[in-house]
Amino acid sequence: MKDVFADMKFWKKPAWEGGKVHTGFATYVDEIWDDIKQLFFKHGVRPNGKTKRVYTTGHSLGAAAATIAASRLGTFARGCFTYGSPRAGNKKFTQTIKCPVWRFRNQRDLVTRVPLALMGFKHIGKFCYIDGDHNLRIGAVKFVRLFKDAVASVFNKVVADGFVDHSMSDYIKYINECDTVHKKEK
């Protein structure tokens, strides 16, 4: 329920590095930021005193948190992988992220569509789309493919497949399938 309450605080507040972020997501990161910093300084500093660069990752609320953490970590972030991520901030906020971001979306995952773009929220990163045939498409996805998956959803026997497609177990399963097929092709 705590995650649901964080999701409902969709108004924007200033982000640390610039732009504006979803209040609920930023508050969630604020609550765990001291733990993140402690882990970073415990494991992120090499014996020679140089700092390691880290990856951030998460699913759903965790994906939004990973995006905000990547912004806060600045040049210490090496990359960010998100799965089923809602939009975390506005365009100016997305420009504060210095590392590459890979944004995975499983077919009709509803969480990836909130908060609404009409409210000024933007996605960030390379779009990695798991289509209705469970193929991983990276980069621009043709509208025809998205439309085909949406139409298939209407005739699907699974009720609320937009929520079913949000399952982390499906993300793992389909990405593993794509990886297996890719290895066989080599």
From the CB of residue 40, how many other CB atoms can be counted at a distance below 10 Å?
Answer: 16
* 170 assigned to active site: no
**Given 7, 109, 131, 149, which residue is catalytic?**
109
Cα(50)–Cα(32) distance, rounded to whole angstroms? 24
Q: 78 in helix, strand or coil?
A: strand
Kindly give the residue spans of alpha helices, DSSP state H, lying in the chain.
2-8, 23-43, 61-73, 91-94, 143-154, 161-164, 168-185
Using a 10 angstrom Cβ sphere, with 0-12 exposed, 13-18 middle and 19 or more buried, the burial of residue 183 is exposed
Task: List the catalytic residue out of 60, 71, 131, 170.
Answer: 60
- 109 is a catalytic site residue: yes
Annotated active-site positions, please?
A: 60, 109
